[in-house]
Structure 1
Amino acid sequence: MAVSDEPFDEPTTSREEIFRATYLVLREHGYAGASIQRIADRTSLSKSTIYYHFDDKYHLLLQFSEELLTWYMDRLLVGHDGDVWESIHRLLDLVYLGETADGVAFEDVFAPGYVATIIEMRGQAVRNPEMREYVSRTDETIRERFATVVEAGIENGTLRATDPDAVAGFLFLLFEGALMLRLCEQDAAWLTDVRTAIDVYLQELEQR
């Protein structure tokens, strides 16, 4: 699959159909504009069917976001063809430079409405224990996928022997920070210089 393929684009279950509709609604209306009615309108299902699967909009968005993050990480990292370390460079180019070397744009992959939803949820996690638990769980999922890539790089000789979890944690900070800032800043051109500095760190990890 290409990086720009959309998630849940061929739903086979009611749950996947709901997730597909949720993705489309968030992309168009953002977190504040998402509602069960708007989501139902994008499906062949009734509102009552959605409530059968999810208690409310809040729990729907929690589970949707967890599934979507997993989808992104599998395709941008583990599932990307070619050298596993190249997948890291590709992902960092996307969030720091705004596009990959082969022309896939940030907006093609990370819909602004969805990224805004992540920011909103992180804000709620400050005071909401349930949201904090969700954020912690999804962050761990992302770090595990980074660690998988690092481990693969060590095994195939691309990377020198290192602590995969420590590197994964740092890569997660780099990724998550740029993902948030690219959406929040009016001018994110300064991230280009940061990407250059990151390359110095990455080169130290590479096997020579």
Structure 2
Amino acid sequence: MATTNDLKNGMVLVIEKQLWAVTDFQHVKPGKGPAFVRTKLKNVESGKVVDRTFNAGMKVETATVDKRTMQYLYNDGTSYVFMDTATFEQTEVSPAIMGDAVGFLLENQEAVVATNDGRVLYVELPPTVELLVEYTEPGLQGDRSSGGTKPAKLETGKEIQVPLFIVNGEKIKVDTRDASYQGRVQG
């Protein structure tokens, strides 16, 4: 148990038997009336975002979320298998929980797997990953100055927009949060 005065971003609360992550909060002390806490909560399972206001000092139930760095091993056809790098224990994650993260996931890549009472809640990838461009159309000579983009298929099968100067076989850095091109990888 905690109070609304203890809220922090990333904290997971149990509200009506559902898990909600605090994505934003603000303590408000109006000139008249009691203080309150305005929050933005994201349902851990459905992804639904709601605004909720609590009275200041009100008790809220917190959930214990165990975040562990795990290594992605393989997809067995029905789920994605991760291994805890400390205990070598394997955890299966369903495609529904993985969501869009599968487009940035390579074998042996590390990710943070969050669990609550043995149930996987979500998988958090690093903010950026380095991936190989498997196929993209060649950019036309005159197009380089316009700063335009073209679709490119990555080694994971994910398709993103890249600048016209990117060629097949090039390694690029991609933001996992919005699937945006971040730059070339030197080396």
TM-score bin, normalised by smaller chain:
under 0.3
The structure carrying a bigger helix percent of its residues is 1
TM-score of the aligned structures, taking structure 2 as reference length:
0.24
Q: TM-score, normalised by structure 1?
A: 0.23
Q: Which has the higher contact order (CA 8 A, sep 6+)?
A: 1
